[in-house]
Amino acid sequence: MEDLKPVLSKYIQTTKRLAEMNAEIAEVRDTKRTLELDLAAVYANNILPDKIELKESKMTFAVKRPNQWKRGWTLSKKTLDTYLRDILGERGQEVMKEIIRRHEPTLTEDDFGFELKSMDH
């Protein structure tokens, strides 16, 4: 137990620090999203280039116009189940069970996992 105390203490400190940093990052993401909305308004009302080389910062600013690009996608287990049932009817349930049977073993971790939660919940 004595071996655990210093490591657990550092783990708690690090977890708290990450929570604080994540809160700050969430604020920065909100600011970025607001700026993206501002940029969208500017681009919607003006004829502007789709690509701008920002030589000073050595970056390229690229614009993806509405209905001209696709974002990456993920499919939740629930949505997949719904689609399979809609498309395949009763057979969809069987297909979903087989997908789960094949996929669930890949989700099992072969390492320790740790979680720190507040006792206030």
| pLDDT one-digit tens code per residue, 27-69 | 999 999 999 999 999 999 999 999 999 999 899 999 999 999 8
* Domain regions of the chain by residue span: 1-67, 74-110
- Cα→Cα distances 35→54, 57, 80, 97, Å: 17, 18, 34, 44
Q: pTM score, two decimals?
A: 0.68
Task: Give the pairing of strands 59-62 and 51-54.
Answer: antiparallel
For 60, phi then psi, to 5°, come to -120, 130
Pull the structure tokens for residue 9: 């203490």
For 117, phi then psi, to 5°, come to -125, 150
pLDDT at 117 over 90: no
- Taking only the tens place, the pLDDT of each residue in 92-111 is 999 999 999 999 999 998 88
pLDDT at res. 121: 61
d(CA 51, CA 62): 4
pLDDT at res. 3: 93
